[in-house]
Structure 1
Protein backbone atom coordinates (compact mmCIF):
# COMPACT_ATOMS: atom_id res chain seq x y z
CA UNK A 1 0.00 0.00 0.00
CA UNK A 2 1.27 3.46 -0.81
CA UNK A 3 0.45 6.70 0.92
CA UNK A 4 1.32 10.13 -0.36
CA UNK A 5 2.07 12.69 2.31
CA UNK A 6 1.56 16.21 1.03
CA UNK A 7 4.53 18.54 1.11
CA UNK A 8 4.25 21.16 3.79
CA UNK A 9 6.35 23.72 5.61
CA UNK A 10 7.23 23.29 9.24
CA UNK A 11 9.07 25.04 12.02
CA UNK A 12 12.39 23.48 13.06
CA UNK A 13 13.15 24.68 16.59
CA UNK A 14 16.71 24.96 17.91
CA UNK A 15 17.34 25.70 21.58
CA UNK A 16 20.58 27.27 22.81
CA UNK A 17 23.01 24.63 24.06
CA UNK A 18 23.31 26.33 27.46
CA UNK A 19 19.53 26.31 28.10
CA UNK A 20 18.59 23.93 30.90
CA UNK A 21 16.24 21.05 30.20
CA UNK A 22 13.43 22.34 32.41
CA UNK A 23 13.27 25.60 30.44
CA UNK A 24 13.31 23.69 27.14
CA UNK A 25 10.49 21.46 28.37
CA UNK A 26 8.49 24.54 29.37
CA UNK A 27 8.97 26.07 25.91
CA UNK A 28 8.05 22.79 24.18
CA UNK A 29 4.89 22.64 26.26
CA UNK A 30 3.87 26.09 25.08
CA UNK A 31 4.78 25.32 21.46
CA UNK A 32 2.71 22.14 21.63
CA UNK A 33 -0.19 24.15 23.07
CA UNK A 34 -0.09 26.40 19.99
CA UNK A 35 -0.39 23.27 17.84
CA UNK A 36 -3.21 21.81 19.97
CA UNK A 37 -5.15 25.08 19.78
CA UNK A 38 -4.63 25.06 16.01
CA UNK A 39 -5.99 21.51 15.79
CA UNK A 40 -9.07 22.57 17.77
CA UNK A 41 -9.81 24.92 14.88
CA UNK A 42 -9.98 21.84 12.63
CA UNK A 43 -6.60 22.51 11.01
CA UNK A 44 -3.31 20.62 10.83
CA UNK A 45 0.34 21.20 9.93
CA UNK A 46 -0.71 20.29 6.38
CA UNK A 47 -2.95 23.36 6.19
CA UNK A 48 -1.31 25.59 3.55
CA UNK A 49 -1.34 28.62 5.88
CA UNK A 50 0.00 26.79 8.95
CA UNK A 51 3.19 28.88 9.19
CA UNK A 52 1.43 32.20 8.67
CA UNK A 53 -1.31 31.29 11.13
CA UNK A 54 1.12 30.35 13.92
CA UNK A 55 4.22 32.48 13.30
CA UNK A 56 3.22 35.44 15.50
CA UNK A 57 2.62 33.13 18.47
CA UNK A 58 5.89 31.27 17.88
CA UNK A 59 7.75 34.61 17.62
CA UNK A 60 6.41 35.62 21.06
CA UNK A 61 7.80 32.40 22.54
CA UNK A 62 11.06 32.89 20.64
CA UNK A 63 11.50 36.27 22.33
CA UNK A 64 10.64 34.79 25.73
CA UNK A 65 12.83 31.66 25.53
CA UNK A 66 15.62 32.68 23.16
CA UNK A 67 15.38 29.75 20.74
CA UNK A 68 15.85 29.98 16.99
CA UNK A 69 13.79 28.43 14.27
CA UNK A 70 13.90 27.86 10.57
CA UNK A 71 11.03 27.13 8.25
CA UNK A 72 11.62 24.20 5.94
CA UNK A 73 9.64 22.47 3.23
CA UNK A 74 9.18 18.81 4.09
Structure 2
Protein backbone atom coordinates (compact mmCIF):
# COMPACT_ATOMS: atom_id res chain seq x y z
CA UNK A 1 0.00 0.00 0.00
CA UNK A 2 1.27 3.46 -0.86
CA UNK A 3 0.26 6.78 0.56
CA UNK A 4 1.19 10.04 -1.06
CA UNK A 5 1.70 12.95 1.32
CA UNK A 6 1.12 16.25 -0.45
CA UNK A 7 3.98 18.71 -0.67
CA UNK A 8 3.35 21.29 2.01
CA UNK A 9 4.97 23.69 4.46
CA UNK A 10 5.14 23.26 8.21
CA UNK A 11 5.89 25.41 11.21
CA UNK A 12 8.98 24.08 12.99
CA UNK A 13 8.67 25.36 16.56
CA UNK A 14 11.39 25.32 19.18
CA UNK A 15 10.76 26.32 22.78
CA UNK A 16 13.74 27.59 24.80
CA UNK A 17 15.65 24.80 26.55
CA UNK A 18 15.54 26.64 29.87
CA UNK A 19 11.78 27.18 29.80
CA UNK A 20 9.67 25.57 32.49
CA UNK A 21 8.13 22.40 31.03
CA UNK A 22 4.63 23.30 32.23
CA UNK A 23 4.79 26.62 30.38
CA UNK A 24 6.08 24.92 27.22
CA UNK A 25 3.26 22.37 27.44
CA UNK A 26 0.77 25.22 27.82
CA UNK A 27 2.21 26.82 24.69
CA UNK A 28 1.84 23.56 22.75
CA UNK A 29 -1.80 23.30 23.81
CA UNK A 30 -2.43 26.81 22.51
CA UNK A 31 -0.63 26.06 19.25
CA UNK A 32 -2.79 22.97 18.79
CA UNK A 33 -5.86 25.12 19.43
CA UNK A 34 -4.81 27.28 16.46
CA UNK A 35 -4.82 24.17 14.26
CA UNK A 36 -8.22 23.05 15.55
CA UNK A 37 -9.72 26.52 15.03
CA UNK A 38 -8.29 26.53 11.52
CA UNK A 39 -10.00 23.23 10.76
CA UNK A 40 -13.34 24.55 12.03
CA UNK A 41 -13.06 27.81 10.10
CA UNK A 42 -11.94 26.16 6.85
CA UNK A 43 -14.32 23.26 6.41
CA UNK A 44 -12.06 20.66 8.00
CA UNK A 45 -8.93 21.55 6.04
CA UNK A 46 -5.69 20.59 7.70
CA UNK A 47 -2.06 21.66 7.81
CA UNK A 48 -1.81 20.40 4.22
CA UNK A 49 -4.02 23.26 2.94
CA UNK A 50 -2.06 25.62 0.65
CA UNK A 51 -2.83 28.71 2.76
CA UNK A 52 -2.41 27.16 6.23
CA UNK A 53 0.84 29.03 6.98
CA UNK A 54 -0.44 32.41 5.83
CA UNK A 55 -3.74 31.98 7.63
CA UNK A 56 -2.18 30.90 10.94
CA UNK A 57 1.08 32.87 11.09
CA UNK A 58 -0.40 35.97 12.79
CA UNK A 59 -1.77 33.81 15.64
CA UNK A 60 1.53 31.91 15.91
CA UNK A 61 3.47 35.20 16.09
CA UNK A 62 1.19 36.40 18.88
CA UNK A 63 1.90 33.24 20.88
CA UNK A 64 5.60 33.63 20.11
CA UNK A 65 5.57 36.96 21.92
CA UNK A 66 3.96 35.32 24.96
CA UNK A 67 6.03 32.11 25.09
CA UNK A 68 9.36 33.11 23.54
CA UNK A 69 9.68 30.19 21.13
CA UNK A 70 11.33 30.43 17.76
CA UNK A 71 9.89 29.07 14.56
CA UNK A 72 10.82 28.53 10.98
CA UNK A 73 8.70 27.50 8.04
CA UNK A 74 9.98 24.42 6.29
CA UNK A 75 8.86 22.98 2.96
CA UNK A 76 8.19 19.27 3.20
CA UNK A 77 8.36 17.19 0.03
Distance across 1 between alignment mates of 2:69 and 2:7: 25
Distance across 2 between alignment mates of 1:4 and 1:61: 32
Q: What is the match of residue 59 of structure 2?
A: 57
Residue 6 (structure 2) pairs with residue 6 (structure 1): yes
Question: Shift of residue 3 of structure 1?
Answer: 1.3
Instruction: Tell me the SS of whatever aligns to 2:4.
Output: coil
Distance across 1 between alignment mates of 2:9 and 2:74: 5
Instruction: Show structure 2 runs of 5+ residues with no match.
Output: none
Moved over 2 A (4+): none
RMSD: 0.7
Q: What is the match of residue 47 of structure 2?
A: 45
Instruction: Show structure 1 runs of 5+ residues with no match.
Output: none
Distance across 1 between alignment mates of 2:55 and 2:8: 14
Taking structure 1 as the reference length, the TM-score comes to 0.96
